[in-house]
């Protein structure tokens, strides 16, 4: 029992210890702004929005490579919204999800392959999405009255509403817990 406790304590490194070993590195030298950066669950890829080419576009690349692929190429002029997350990875990092909106319609969540390709509709009424650590489920919320949160399958099917705010209360954040290493 003492060995098991000692082993567990050794593996539970405190956050100050982790922070002291962290390496902070500039990823791009783009002019303008980079926002909404997210790292894939496996820690190998990063996606972010940048207005390098005048409108915000979604970029993806391997951490440390210095090479970035523009996934949207100006096709989504209303890609950035400062009130929500606008970009993220699916649990397997094969796709990047994007909050897509334009002035005349509500936001939706679309997918684009992390290797590039066409932007595909995914969750027609969602604003943001977060996959469970095991990739089997996801959660998303809508901007309809009560800011409901839904949990469908990982493929976006059979959503079940799990939250509806009382009038005047804020929506809790839709976030997936970090992957354990």
| Per-residue tens of pLDDT for the chain, all 181 residues | 565 555 555 555 566 776 777 777 777 888 888 888 999 999 999 999 999 888 899 999 998 888 999 999 999 888 888 888 899 999 999 999 999 987 777 789 999 999 999 999 999 989 899 988 888 889 998 888 888 999 998 889 899 999 998 876 665 665 655 555 4
What's the confidence (pLDDT) of residue 9?
58
What's the confidence (pLDDT) of residue 78?
85
What's the confidence (pLDDT) of residue 93?
95
DSSP the chain: -HHHHHHHHHH---HHHHHHT---------SS-EEEEEE-TTSSEEEEEEEEESEEEEEEEETTT---EESSTTS-TT---TTS--EEE-TTSSEEEEEEEETTEEEEEEEEETT----EEEETT-SEEEE-TTSSBEEEE-SSTT--EEE-BTTS-S-EEEE-PPTTPPPPP--PPPPP-
Q: What is the pTM of this model?
A: 0.78
Buried b (16+ CB within 10 A) or exposed e, 25-58: eebeeeeeebebebbbbeeebbbbbbbbeebbbb
Extract the tokens encoding 170.
């804020």
Please write the tens of the pLDDT for every residue from 111-158: 999 999 999 999 998 989 998 888 888 999 888 888 899 999 888 989
Who contacts 33 (Cβ-Cβ below 8 Å, separation ≥6)? Answer: 50, 51
For residues 95 and 92, give the distance between their C-alpha atoms in angstroms, rounded to a whole number. 8
């Amino acid at each position: 029992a003492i060995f098991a406790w000692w082993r567990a304590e050794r593996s539970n490194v405190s956050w100050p210890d982790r922070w002291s070993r962290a390496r902070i590195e500039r990823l791009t030298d783009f002019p303008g702004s980079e926002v909404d950066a997210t790292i894939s669950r496996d820690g190998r890829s990063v996606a972010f929005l940048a207005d390098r080419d005048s409108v915000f576009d979604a970029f993806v690349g391997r951490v440390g490579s210095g090479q970035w692929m523009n996934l949207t190429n100006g096709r989504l002029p209303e890609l950035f919204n400062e009130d929500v997350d606008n970009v993220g990875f699916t649990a397997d990092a094969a796709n990047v999800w994007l909050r897509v909106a334009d002035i005349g319609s509500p936001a939706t969540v679309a997918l684009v392959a992390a290797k590039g390709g066409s932007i595909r509709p995914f969750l027609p009424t969602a604003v943001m999405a977060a996959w469970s650590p095991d990739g089997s489920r996801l959660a998303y919320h809508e901007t309809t009255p009560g800011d409901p949160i839904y949990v469908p399958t990982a493929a976006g099917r059979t959503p079940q509403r799990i939250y509806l705010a009382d009038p005047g209360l804020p929506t809790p954040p839709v976030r997936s817990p970090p992957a354990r290493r």
